[in-house]
Amino acid sequence: MKKVFFVGFGNLLTAMVTPFDANNQVDFAKTTKLIEYLLANGSEGLVVGGTTGESPTLTTDEKIALFKHTVKVVNNRVPVIAGSGSNSTQASITLTKAAEKSGADGIMLVAPYYNKPNQEGLYRHFAAIAGETALPVMLYNIPGRSAVKISAEIIIRLSQIDNIVSVKEASGDLDLAADVIEHTADNFSVYSGEDSITLPLLSLGADGVVSVVSHIAGNDMSEMLKAYQSGDVARAASIHRKLLPVMKGMFAQPSPVPVKTALNMNGIDVGDVRLPLLAMTDSEKEILKNLIQR
């Protein structure tokens, strides 16, 4: 594979939901409208087909169609990162190759879930996939969903592979993040995978966030990042505190149920969620509505 030339994904990336129609099929017209809305409201990159995009319930064909559609609509305005990871190394390689063919700017590889590999197994899984693509790779460390944590040592080892350039860190382990930032090259980027710890991670040297709350507060998240980067830490902290209840509200129910509900409330029609996720009850919607309005 040719050596990757990586110039970065941006600071505020949105883990994009997947819009569905009334029959719970992927709705590409709604997807186009959502993409334009996100790009007009602070998003500097889009992650497609990830957890927030309900990847466990998307078929391979649906994922590839989403990659192609998003790349076409975005038209090189921001990076498009395709969620091509799974708990099958070979299946991940196949989907990664399809993502590369679709024109995606990078791929995101989640830690293999359910089969619970050891750390050396994690290393070989990610290295095998990275070796089959020229695209830049973002690792995704989320033990709360995958049941395995990628250790700092393994992330640091993986960062020495040319096209493994980034990690979405959602373990909640600030010590791990600090260790990775300290012992990887300056051009290896670390992103918060949880909105609520973005500012603490920035203070450790992280580069930005792969955000969910940016669906409804993108400009606020962008302002927080820019304030911190410009040295106005007090302003960044003030915005963080203001957004914190909304950040928590986006995960009061299994994600992406709250954020899809919030988008629909705000006039951005993204449809419902697929089973086994369930729509919010009327009382839950009322709580969310009051939270967003405040």
pLDDT in tens, 227-275: 999 999 999 999 999 999 999 999 999 999 999 999 999 999 999 999 9
- Whether the Cβ atoms of residue 58 and residue 25 lie closer than 8 Å to each other: no
pLDDT score for 2:
37
289 carries an active-site annotation: no
Residue of 63, 68, 149, 168 marked active site:
168
Provide the 3-class DSSP secondary structure of residue 52.
coil
What pTM was computed for the model?
Answer: 0.95
Strands 45-48, 208-211: pairing kind: unpaired
Is 280 a residue whose pLDDT tops 80? yes
Residue of 140, 149, 191, 260 marked active site:
140
pLDDT score for 85:
98
AA identity, residue 197: I
> Using H for helix, E for strand and C for coil, what is the string for 138-192?
EEEECHHHHCCCCCHHHHHHHCCCCCEEEEEECCCCHHHHHHHHHHCCCCCEEEE
Average pLDDT over residues 99-104: 98
Q: How many CA atoms lie within 13 A of 95 on its CB side?
A: 30
37 carries an active-site annotation: no
Domain 12-233 fold is TIM Barrel (3.20.20)
